[in-house]
Structure 1
Amino acid sequence: MSLSFTGSNWRRFLFGVCLTILVGLGYPAWRHFYPVTAANGWDYEVFHSAIPMASALAVDDQNAVFVSQELSNEKGKILRLKPGGSTTEVLTGLSKPDGQVMFRGGLVTGQEGGTLPVLWLHDGKSDALFEADNVEGIATDGHALFAIEDKTPGRLLRYDPETHELSVLREGLDEGEGISICPDGRLFYTEKAKGWVKQWKAEGVDTVVAKGLNAPGFVQCTGDGLWITEDATHMARLLLLDSSGNLQAILNHLRAAQTIIRLDADRYLLAEQGRNRILELKRISR
Structure 2
Amino acid sequence: MTLSPRRSLLRIAFLATAIILAAAAGFFSWQSFYPVQAAAGWRVEVSQRDVKKAASVVPLPDGGLLVSQELKDGQGNILRITPGGERKVVIDGLSKPDGLIAARGGWVFSQEADDKPVQMLRDGKLSTLFQGNSVQGLWDDGDYLYAIEDRHDSGRVLRYRWSDGELNVVRERLDEAESITRCSDGRLLYTQKNLGTLRQLSDDGRDPEILGGLNKPTFVMCDERGIWISEDSTHRARLLLWDGKGEPQTVLSFLKAPQALVPDGKGGYLLAEGGRNRVLRLTPAN
Q: Normalising by structure 2, what TM-score?
A: 0.91
Shift of residue 14 of structure 1? 7.7
Q: Name structure 1 gaps, 5 residues minimum.
A: none
Number of the residue aligned with 1:201? 202
Q: Are the counterparts in 2 of residues 216 and 229 from structure 1 also a CA contact under 8 Å?
A: yes
What corresponds to 1:59 in structure 2? 59
Instruction: For 1:151-170, list aligned pairs within 5 A.
Output: 151-152=151-152, 153-170=154-171
Is 1:182 the equivalent of 2:183? yes
Shift of 1:184: 3.4
The separation in 1 between residues aligned to 2:277 and 2:171, in whole angstroms, is 33
After superposition, where does 1:1-286 map in structure 2 within 5 Å?
Answer: 4=5, 18-152=18-152, 153-203=154-204, 205-264=206-265, 266-285=267-286
1:279 is matched by which residue type in structure 2? L
Report the CA distance shift for 1:60/1:202 in structure 2 as closer, same or farther (over 3 A).
farther
Q: CA RMSD of the aligned region, Å?
A: 2.3
Distance 1:116 1:3, change over 3 A: same
TM-fit CA distance, 1:225: 0.8
Over residues 237-277 of structure 1, what are the superposed CA-to-partner deviations in whole Å (9 max), with x where a residue is unaligned?
11111143541111111111100001246310000001000
Q: 3-state SS of the aligned residue for 2:48?
A: strand
CA contact 1:267–1:281 (8 Å) conserved in 2:
yes
Cα distance, 1:59 vs structure 2: 2.3
TM-score (norm 1): 0.91
Give the conservation status (yes or no) of the 8 Å contact 1:258–1:273.
Answer: yes
The question of whether the paired residues in 2 share the 8 Å contact of 1:254 and 1:272 is answered with: yes
Following superposition, the deviation at residue 111 of structure 1 comes to 0.9
1:20 is paired with a residue of what secondary structure?
helix
Partner Cα separation in structure 1 for residue 17 and residue 112 of structure 2: 45
Give the SS at the match of 1:25. Answer: helix
Indicate how the Cα distance of structure 1 residues 202 and 61 shifts in structure 2: closer, same or farther if over 3 A, else same.
farther
**Distance in 2, Cα, partners of 1:73 & 1:55:** 16
Shift of 1:116: 1.2
Distance 1:40 1:108, change over 3 A: same
State the alpha-carbon separation in 2 of the partners of residues 255 and 87 from structure 1.
24
Contact 2:63–2:82 under 8 Å retained in 1: no
Q: After the TM superposition, which of the residue ranges 42-51 and 86-95 deviates more from structure 2?
A: 86-95
Q: Aligned letter for 2:251?
A: I
The code of the aligned residue for 1:146 comes to Y
User: How far does the alpha carbon of each residue in 1:152-181 deviate from its partner, in whole angstroms, 9 at most, with x for none?
Assistant: 210011100112111111111111111112
Distance 1:274 1:125 in 2: 31
Query: Identity over aligned residues, as a percent?
Result: 43
Amino acid at match of 1:225: G
For 1:36-91, what per-residue CA distance to the aligned partner results, in whole angstroms no more than 9, with x for missing partners?
11111111000000011111112244443211011122221111111132211111
Distance change (3 Å), C-alpha of 1:182 and 1:10? closer
**1:222 CA drift (Å):** 1.0
Mapped partners of 2:48, 2:60: distance in 1:
17
Deviation track 1:99-124 (CA, whole Å, cap 9, x = no partner) reads: 11111000000111211110110010
Q: Which runs of 5+ in 2 are unaligned?
A: none
Secondary structure class of the residue paired with 1:84: coil
What is the SS of the residue equivalent to 1:213? coil
Moved more, 62-71 or 215-224: 62-71
